[in-house]
Structure 1
Amino acid sequence: MRAENLAEPLKIAGFEIFKDCLTPEEQSTMVADLRAVAQVAPMRHPVTRWGKQMSVKMTSAGRLGWISDKRGYRYEARHPDGMSWPPIPQRILDLWQSKTNLARQPDCCLINFYGEGARMGLHQDNDEGDFSYPVLSVSLGDDGLFRMGGTERGGKTQSVWLSSGDVVVMGGTARLAYHGVDRIRFGSSSLLPDGGRINITLRVVADSN
Structure 2
Amino acid sequence: MRFARSAAVLAALVFSTTAHAAPAAAAPADRVTLPVRDALAQLPLRTEDRTGYERTKFRLWVDADKDGCNTRAEVLKAEAVIAPAQGPRCALSGGEWYSPYDDRYILGRGGVDIDHLVPLAEAWDSGAFAWTAKEREAYANDLGDDRALIAVSAASNRSKADQDPSTWLPPTTGYRCQYVTDWVADKMRWGLSIDTAERAALTDVLSRCPNVPVAVTPAR
Same fold at TM > 0.5:
no
More strand per residue: 1 or 2? 1
The structure with higher relative contact order (CA 8 Å, sep 6+) is 2
More helix per residue: 1 or 2? 2
TM-score normalised to structure 2 length: 0.30
